[in-house]
């Protein structure tokens, strides 16, 4: 017999909303005996050092600086995800993680299709001021509109 929600994906970006989504996914996984897949998307255009293209970093090999900056981002993501994996183990939930080099929305959709994900649990984007009119952030909206499995958005 196949379990409902046997494979749950949690995209994690370190925000309070993704933290809440992770906690909710852990509870769902405990109740259904599911496996969690936690991913972090590291999009290299997002992690470019400030001023890289405006020449503010002088006397530095730009390729080397970009490579170093990217490696730091990957290492930080690995540490965060390893901590999450340990947290899941302590709660009795089987979990695995992956750092993916891609745009966040695309990474979530591609991973969910390739890994036959049954449920995506993700945080909404926390917006302030006039932007509160928007219901969802751009990544959660993109995933919601394009995913082929159920999605739980946690605010």
Q: Give pLDDT tens digits for 6-28.
A: 999 999 999 999 999 999 999 99
Residue with more model confidence, 67 or 2: 67
Query: What's this model's pTM, rounded to 2 decimal places?
Result: 0.82
Neighbouring C-alpha atoms within 13 Å toward the C-beta of 90? 7
Give residue 65's pLDDT.
73
Give residue 50's pLDDT.
55
Q: Which two tokens stand for residue 91?
A: 């709660």
Q: Which two tokens stand for residue 27?
A: 């509870």
pLDDT tens digits, one per residue of 93-130: 999 999 999 999 999 999 999 999 999 999 987 434 43
Domain ranges of the chain: 7-154
Q: Which superfamily does 7-154 belong to?
A: HUPs (3.40.50.620)
Residue with more model confidence, 49 or 39: 39
């Amino acid at each position: 017999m196949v379990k409902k929600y046997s494979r749950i994906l949690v995209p994690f970006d370190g925000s309070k909303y993704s933290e809440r989504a992770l906690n909710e996914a852990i509870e769902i996984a405990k109740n259904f005996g599911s496996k969690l897949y936690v991913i972090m998307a590291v999009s290299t255009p997002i992690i470019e050092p400030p001023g890289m293209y405006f020449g503010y970093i002088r006397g530095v090999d730009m390729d080397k600086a970009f490579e170093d900056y990217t490696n730091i981002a990957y290492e930080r993501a690995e540490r965060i995800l390893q901590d999450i994996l340990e947290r899941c183990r302590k709660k009795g939930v089987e979990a695995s993680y992956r750092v993916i080099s891609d745009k966040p929305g695309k990474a979530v959709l591609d991973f969910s299709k390739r890994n036959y994900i049954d449920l995506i649990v993700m945080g909404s984007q926390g917006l302030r001021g006039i932007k509160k009119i928007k219901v969802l952030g751009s990544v959660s909206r993109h995933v919601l509109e394009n995913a082929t499995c159920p999605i739980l958005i946690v605010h």
